[in-house]
Amino acid sequence: MRSKVVVLVFFIFAILHHDVWNWDDRSLWLGFLPAGLGYHVVYSLVVGIFWYLVTRFAWPHATEAWAEKSSPE
Amino acid sequence: MTTFYILVGYLALLMGLGLLSSRFFKGTSADFFVVSRSVGSFLLLMSIFGTTMTGFAIVGSTAKSYTDGVGVYGLMASWSGLMHSAVFFAVGIKLWAVGKRYGYMTQCEYFRDRFESDRLGYVLFPILVLLVIPYLLVGVIAAGKFIQPTTAGLFPELFPMPNLPNGNPHPLNGGIPPAVGGGVICLIVLFYVFFGGLRGAVWANTFQTIVFMGTGVIAFYMISKNLGGLKAASEAVAASDFGAERLGREGMMSKLQFLSYCFVPLSVGMFPHLFQHWLTAKSAKSFKLTVVAFPIFIMIVWVPCVLIGVWAAGYLGPLDPGQSPNSVLGRMVGQLVHSPVLTGLVGAGVLAAIMSSLDSQFMCLGTMFTNDIVMKKYGADRFTDRQKIWIARGFILFVVGSTYLLAIALQDSAHVFDLGVWCFSGFAGLFPLVFASVYWKRVTLPGAYACILSTAMAWGYLFYHDILAVKPAGAGDEEMLVFGMMPVAIIIALSTVSLVVVSLLTKKPSEAIIRKFFV
């Protein structure tokens, strides 16, 4: 269930990346940051938070345990 | 000479780090190739980030923003922030797990076992090597070409250049020639990889990542200060005819190109040098910091460079014919800061970004040759650990020497830097193979071959038309697009369809293989 939520949110992020509404927006956020760049800076920060939540709540414990179970080395 | 001394000091520090890392070497092949699978969260993040970011992240991003505007960040950086972390989480951890459980050191070893075919390894090996070599060439040539203008005027008697046809002195007069600069960089990377193995590369990458992230931020601060502050710098762009349109994306890139660029970062899933870095992780938990911090780290490196590039459009205006956009960062630092210390630090940052990719690539080619060819042909039991390490060192030496000679021969070729983009497209085309191998039980060996073959054919066809074919008179140097999309989108679509269709039409893999590789 959790992995399905991760995949769904991932695709929502992929859609949100395509910010066509900023395509011809040359305004400056805070007086210096072009809108199209400012949007993607915020996007990068939110993506970082998303991945934090993924590692917190959808961590692949089963894969980790499987790898540790028996190692030939 | 201050700039030169800073560069020399930086390179000497790297060699010292290489020597130090070799003191921790345990003498086993597992330690030489995968650091005894002992790398923790911080070193894993820094080494993977340093390996992934090339000199393009600093010099190329500034140049591309100068020509194409702020949309470059969304095109190349924020897509990578989302996709790289996704690949590390979804594919990297799975491959680390099978690598740890079955003792793999290379991709070919994994694919051979996963698809029960030795021949598949022999097919993949040359493809992976051929795709890494142009990537290496770009690094060596870029380093050499960067050192020459950075040291111009320092050694006029040792490296004289003839005057320009108009009688003016050559701007590169007295600079260290690319053949010497590139050679020194090769030797230093060889030094710490030869003695320290992948541990040397991991330690060096960590130091190099700190250097190029730090110098980028310092250069950004100094340049913005000398442009009158952040607001004044951006307002000047808005007021300039040449710069204003670079604050948006209209006319700079198409919407389909922007969308289809999402496939390019998938290449990290098939980079053999990243595969090797994943295997160094002490535990799956070591990946957590990498997955979370990657989008933020990319932002820290790219936002300053993109802004400097856009500001340069307002400050410098159009370049004269023959001037490369790649010179924009150097010109902004040179004209606005007038500090040999900062020039030296930025120079060290650019070299750090270049070298942190070169070391892992040299190391992975040595590892692949030893494990996928020599051990496979003669049997791993035939060699002691010490012999395996010396075989790898010998091949690394051969690869460094060959790369250097090729770089010298091709350094003035117009298309060498285009090859870098095509390398990414080739690796991305093979991504469906690795993704299916960890998630789809039904994928078969013929399906794997179909994926590789369709990637090779589509890639070869598009590469021929973009790089090798004679262009009609008046054709420009624009990036190749297919139906308005990046060529990689077509390559991935074809390789995915081939893999799925052929797998479904052929016999299921054995139950033993499914039990072996699926949790």
Whether A35 is covered by a domain: the verdict is yes
Beta bridge partner(s), residue A28: A34
* pLDDT tens figures, B62-82: 889 999 999 999 999 999 999
Q: Of the candidates A12, A38, A17, A7, which has an alpha carbon nearest to the alpha carbon of residue B79?
A: A17
pLDDT value of residue A72: 47
> Do residues A37 and A22 make contact, with C-beta atoms less than 8 angstroms apart?
no
**Residues in chain A with pLDDT < 70?**
70-73
Residue B322 has φ and ψ, to the nearest 5°, of 90, -15
Whether A69 is covered by a domain: the verdict is no
- Provide the greatest CA pair distance for chain B: 76
Whether A55 is covered by a domain: the verdict is yes
Residue scoring higher pLDDT (B367 or B477)? B367
For residues B301-322, average pLDDT: 90
DSSP label at residue B506: S
**Disruptive mutation site among A51, A54, A66, A70 for chain B (greatest number of B CBs within 10 Å):** A51
Measured torsion, CA atoms of residues B331, B337, B340, B343, in degrees rounded to the nearest 10: -50
Cα–Cα separations (whole angstroms), residue B70 to B174, B261, B304, B344, B381: 36, 15, 11, 27, 55
pLDDT value of residue B226: 92
Q: Determine, for residues A45 and B299 on separate chains, whether the beta-carbon distance falls below 8 Å.
A: yes
Which of the four pLDDT bands, split at 50, 70 and 90, describes residue B476? low
Q: Of the candidates B398, B52, B348, B7, which has an alpha carbon nearest to the alpha carbon of residue B194?
A: B398
Whether A50 is covered by a domain: the verdict is yes
Task: List the single range of B247-256, B343-352, B485-494 with lowest mean pLDDT.
Answer: B343-352
For residues B97-121, average pLDDT: 94
pLDDT exceeds 60 at position B357: yes
Instruction: Write the CB contacts of B426 (distance below 8 Å, at least 6 apart in sequence).
Output: B127, B131, B267, B455, B459, B491
pLDDT value of residue A60: 94
Residue B483 has φ and ψ, to the nearest 5°, of 50, 35
Q: Determine, for residues A37 and B303 on separate chains, whether the beta-carbon distance falls below 8 Å.
A: yes
Domains of chain B by start residue, with CATH: 2-21+30-412 (1.20.1730.10)
Please tell me the distance in Å from B96's CA to the nearest CA on chain A. Answer: 8
d(CA B318, CA B104): 52
The segment with the largest mean pLDDT, out of B78-92, B121-135, B322-336, is B78-92
Instruction: Write the CB contacts of B413 (distance below 8 Å, at least 6 apart in sequence).
Output: none
d(CA B368, CA B128): 10
Which of the four pLDDT bands, split at 50, 70 and 90, describes residue B56? confident
* pLDDT tens figures, B232-254: 999 999 999 999 999 999 989 99
Residue B336: exposure state from Cβ atoms within 10 A (0-12, 13-18, ≥19) = buried
d(CA B377, CA B108): 14
Q: Taking CB atoms and an 8 Å cutoff, what residues of chain A touch B86? A: 10
pLDDT exceeds 50 at position B374: yes
Task: Say how many domains are in chain A.
Answer: 1
Whether A66 is covered by a domain: the verdict is no
Per cent of chain B over pLDDT 70 is 98
Per cent of chain B over pLDDT 90 is 63
Whether A34 is covered by a domain: the verdict is yes
d(CA B399, CA A71): 32
Whether A51 is covered by a domain: the verdict is yes
Is the torsion defined by CA of B373, B376, B378, B380 positive or negative? positive
Please tell me the distance in Å from A52's CA to the nearest CA on chain B. Answer: 5
pLDDT exceeds 80 at position B261: yes
pLDDT value of residue A73: 45
Q: Of the candidates B387, B13, B384, B33, which has an alpha carbon nearest to the alpha carbon of residue B210?
A: B13
Whether A73 is covered by a domain: the verdict is no
Q: Determine, for residues A69 and B100 on separate chains, whether the beta-carbon distance falls below 8 Å.
A: no
pLDDT exceeds 60 at position B5: yes
Which of the four pLDDT bands, split at 50, 70 and 90, describes residue B410? confident
The vertex-A62 CA angle with A59 and A64, nearest 5°, equals 75
Instruction: Write the CB contacts of B294 (distance below 8 Å, at least 6 apart in sequence).
Output: A48, A51, B45, B49, B81, B84, B85, B88
Structural domain containing residue A39? 2-59
pLDDT exceeds 50 at position B286: yes
Which of the four pLDDT bands, split at 50, 70 and 90, describes residue B154? confident
Measured torsion, CA atoms of residues B269, B273, B275, B277, in degrees rounded to the nearest 10: -130
For residues B22-39, average pLDDT: 90
pLDDT value of residue B466: 86
Q: Determine, for residues B103 and A36 on separate chains, whether the beta-carbon distance falls below 8 Å.
A: no
